[in-house]
């Protein structure tokens, strides 16, 4: 009797866990983003005489959107510029590698912008984490680690 109950309980666990789609499927969809500027980045901006007020941050957030596609591609709009690339997921760690920015390949941008600070890293992936249910993606936009600010994307709808 005890053995039968244990077997049924294990079968129930397997069935319940088997019903949940993999995270790779759960993250497919459209997201709206919010920039979270860290205190250390605010101090760096102030030192460089860059004053980001709430109105400017709200304007950046208004156009911040991400679409995670089933074919492992993504489309993102950040500060009015369209980004396109490929994503990979390992556990709940997401890596997003830009291929095009505003329709120009990352390789071409890098060639044309040699010596401009920050441009040398545009071919590095943005990394982040995905919530267990796939409804939230938090990325660090700066692959160099100089910035500790993040972008949090909240899911709006499932991709069609």
The predicted pLDDT at position 83 comes to 95
* pLDDT tens, position by position, 134-143: 999 999 867 6
Residue 87's nearest CA partner among 152, 29, 21, 158 is 29
pLDDT class of 159 with cuts at 50, 70, 90: very low
* pLDDT tens, position by position, 100-126: 999 999 999 988 888 787 677 888 899
pLDDT class of 144 with cuts at 50, 70, 90: low
Number of residues that this document lists for the chain: 160
Give the gyration radius of the chain's Cα atoms.
Answer: 20
* pLDDT tens, position by position, 46-90: 777 777 777 777 777 788 999 999 999 999 998 889 999 999 999
Domain boundaries of the chain, sorted by first residue: 22-158
Q: What is the pTM of this model?
A: 0.78
The predicted pLDDT at position 13 comes to 47
- To which H or E segment does residue 17 belong? helix 2-19
Contacts of 119 (CB under 8 A, 6+ apart): 109, 110, 113
The predicted pLDDT at position 141 comes to 66
- To which H or E segment does residue 24 belong? helix 23-26
**CA-CA distances (angstroms) from residue 53 to 40, 49, 63, 78, 123?**
16, 12, 17, 18, 29
With H, G, I as helix, E, B as strand and everything else as coil, classify residue 38.
Answer: coil
Residue 127 has pLDDT above 50, yes or no: yes
Of 1.20.5, 1.20.1260, 1.10.3470, 2.40.128, the CATH number of 22-158 is 2.40.128
Average pLDDT for 13-36: 81
**CA-CA distances (angstroms) from residue 30 to 26, 33, 48, 61, 100?**
11, 10, 35, 15, 19
The predicted pLDDT at position 134 comes to 94
Residue 33's nearest CA partner among 136, 126, 152, 130 is 152
């Amino acid at each position: 009797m005890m053995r039968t109950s244990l077997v049924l309980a294990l079968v129930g666990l397997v069935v319940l866990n088997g019903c949940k789609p993999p995270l790779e499927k759960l993250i497919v969809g459209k997201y709206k983003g919010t920039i979270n500027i860290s205190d250390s980045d605010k101090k760096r901006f102030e030192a460089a005489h860059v004053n980001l007020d709430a109105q400017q941050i709200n304007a950046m957030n208004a156009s911040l959107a991400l679409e995670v596609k089933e074919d492992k591609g993504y489309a993102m709009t950040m500060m009015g510029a369209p980004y396109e690339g490929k994503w990979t997921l390992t556990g709940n760690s997401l890596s997003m590698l830009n291929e095009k920015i505003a329709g120009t390949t990352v390789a071409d941008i890098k060639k044309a912008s040699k010596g401009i600070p920050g441009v040398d890293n545009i071919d590095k992936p943005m990394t982040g984490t995905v919530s267990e249910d796939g409804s939230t993606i938090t990325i660090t936009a700066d692959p160099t680690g100089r910035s500790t600010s993040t972008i949090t994307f909240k899911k709006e709808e499932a991709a069609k």
